[in-house]
Structure 1
Amino acid sequence: MSNRGDIECWLTDMDGVLVHENHPLPGAAALLQQWRDQGKPFLVLTNNSIFTPRDLSARLKASGLDVPEQFLWTSALATADFLKSQMPGGSAFVIGEAGITTALHEAGFVMTESDPDYVVVGETRNYSFDAITKAIRLIVNGARFIVTNPDATGPSADGPMPATGAIAALITKATGKEPYVVGKPNPMMFRSAMNKIGAHSENTGMIGDRMDTDIVAGIEAGLHTILVLTGISDQAEIERYPFRPDEILGGVADLLEPEPIEVDID
């Protein structure tokens, strides 16, 4: 699909697209309101599995963006949705925060350290050597290895810090087992998001700021892809990849439609 006018539903990344360091990016609030006014279904996506949708909604509101929790879709929710489809009522040993534990509980999973069906690794700022050791032993004994997202590092005020992908690599090295990663760039995260809002790939657009996650996953999911230059990727980064988004825009403000002009015929 190449015509933006055919898009009836939207998926958009959060960081680097709508917000940057807890500040809304130009046009973000207006675009969200435009979609509401037009009655277009949309979801705001994030690979971060730390926070629940309620937490994220509150954080966005504090940043100046009104995004109710039902409009948020995280890698934690996508992971819980996937595991529920694979093994309803299953069990899991989880390394992570409230985002993933709450999502799994609501999907009907039991948290256990005794012979779980899955070991699920998500984002946390409190990685425990004991928990990682336990995860390694459970996987060696047959638990299936699942990771919410592949990001190797995350940002902090002092520089990069290890994230889910780095801990997953440690566990892989110790077990010889590769995890199944649910979050971007796995297009499954987009497909589960589309299922949530009743969207179809042929009329859904995806806005992101990363070529290596947002755009490649959008292409593989069959979506109309839009890269904005307010986040990670710049023109030099774009040239590194053999694929291209359908559109490259300066920011989400470029998606705003002009207000209709009222003409007084008297």
Structure 2
Amino acid sequence: MGHLPRGVLRPGPPPVTPTRPDTALGAPMLDRKPVQSWLTDMDGVLVHEGQPVPGAPEFVKRLRASGKPFLVLTNNSIYTPRDLQARLARMGLDVPEEAIWSSALATAQFLADQRPGGTAYVIGEAGLTTALHAVGYVLTDFAPDYVVLGETRTYSFEAITKAIRLINDGARFICTNPDVTGPSVEGALPAAGSVAAMISKATGIEPYFVGKPNPMMMRSALNTINAHSESTAMIGDRMDTDILCGLEAGLETILVLTGISTRAEAERYPYRPSRIVESVADLIDEI
């Protein structure tokens, strides 16, 4: 290397920019903005086995009084927001209909964006069919653009067979959520993810899942309340759906221990929530 002219300093190494913890692995973000919007899962966070989680009614009441935008999220596509509002009201949770965001609504919005005014063959209940009608979709079993699989209390072998044949004939395969089981008072129930696996095995076609942990569920929720990821927190009880989904969407993530995941189980994942609290009761004073 040649000599520099007298009085000219040789350039040193570039300055090192301080880095924050590795957020890709779920480490807490030290420079997050104060929380201005809230997203919260429903089952396991606000309600559990048909009963309100202690502190949940007070948490919702404080949210409403704060004026901050919020949404209650659920992967369950069976019910309409009105149905869910009534269900929550019976448990003392005063959640407005417009503050409920389901995988059925997210799926309908996704399809309306992808193929406006399209057609679909649907396996599901009122939550899903109502949402699709609301965005202008026609439900049909004649050469539909999509086969859309959601939750239902009674999966029909005839309907599953029809779905398989339509997918084999070229229909695109969409599923509201990947959950393989759902909760009930009697125990676990097979859910959409299990039926999707059956259809995939028969067709060789994997579905596109819209609900959690797809971060699209979070982004559609953020758009609904005009919120920003850097100032929004996601509260959930499952590391593999709620926390993963919130993390990938860039939200602050808060794991509560009133549902599926325990503190010990959370440590086994390669990503971490921003923090862990016992229940939403611990968050009331933060709103």
- State yes or no: 1:162 paired with 2:190: yes
Q: Decide which structure has the larger Cα Rg and report it.
A: 2
SS of 1:257's partner is helix
Q: How far does residue 183 in structure 1 lie from its aligned partner after superposition? A: 0.3
- State yes or no: 1:198 paired with 2:226: yes
CA displacement 1:48-71 (0-9 Å, x = unmatched): 000000000000001110111100
User: Which residue of 2 is the match for residue 211 of structure 1?
Assistant: 239
- State yes or no: 1:176 paired with 2:186: no
Which stretch shifts more, 237-246 or 20-29? 20-29
How many Å separate the matches in 2 of 1:160 and 1:35? 31
Q: 1:258 to 1:160 in 2, by over 3 A?
A: closer
User: Which residue of 2 is the match for residue 124 of structure 1?
Assistant: 152
User: Which residue of 2 is the match for residue 264 of structure 1?
Assistant: none
Instruction: Say if 1:91 and 1:109, in contact at 8 Å, map to a contact too.
Output: yes
Q: How far does residue 159 in structure 1 lie from its aligned partner after superposition? A: 2.3
Which stretch shifts more, 49-58 or 154-163? 154-163
Q: How far does residue 2 in structure 1 lie from its aligned partner after superposition? A: 4.1
Instruction: Say if 2:123 and 2:148, in contact at 8 Å, map to a contact too.
Output: yes
Q: CA RMSD in A?
A: 1.4
Instruction: Say if 2:39 and 2:234, in contact at 8 Å, map to a contact too.
Output: yes
Instruction: Say if 2:263 and 2:276, in contact at 8 Å, map to a contact too.
Output: no
Q: 2:172 aligns with which of 133, 136, 144?
A: 144
- State yes or no: 1:16 paired with 2:16: no
SS of 1:116's partner is coil
- State yes or no: 1:228 paired with 2:256: yes
How many Å separate the matches in 2 of 1:177 and 1:258? 45
User: Which residue of 2 is the match for residue 252 of structure 1?
Assistant: 280
SS of 1:6's partner is coil
Q: 1:85 to 1:13 in 2, by over 3 A?
A: same
How many Å separate the matches in 2 of 1:4 and 1:222? 10
Instruction: Say if 1:22 and 1:60, in contact at 8 Å, map to a contact too.
Output: no
Q: 2:85 aligns with which of 39, 54, 57?
A: 57
Q: 1:70 aligns with which of 88, 98, 106?
A: 98
Counterpart residue identity of residue 156, structure 2 = S
How many Å separate the matches in 2 of 1:258 and 1:116? 48
Q: 1:207 to 1:3 in 2, by over 3 A?
A: farther
Number of matched residues?
Answer: 259
Structure 2 length as normaliser, TM-score? Answer: 0.88
How many Å separate the matches in 1 of 2:133 and 2:80? 12
How many Å separate the matches in 2 of 1:70 and 1:224? 23
How many Å separate the matches in 1 of 2:271 and 2:282? 22
CA displacement 1:42-95 (0-9 Å, x = unmatched): 000000000000000000001110111100000000000000000000000000
Counterpart residue identity of residue 200, structure 2 = T
Instruction: Say if 2:235 and 2:242, in contact at 8 Å, map to a contact too.
Output: yes
How many Å separate the matches in 1 of 2:241 and 2:197? 18
How many Å separate the matches in 2 of 1:222 and 1:243? 13
- Unmatched 5+ residue regions in structure 1? 260-266
Q: How far does residue 37 in structure 1 lie from its aligned partner after superposition? A: 1.8
- State yes or no: 1:48 paired with 2:76: yes
Identity %: 68
Q: How far does residue 162 in structure 1 lie from its aligned partner after superposition? A: 1.1
Counterpart residue identity of residue 279, structure 2 = G
Which stretch shifts more, 158-167 or 101-110? 158-167
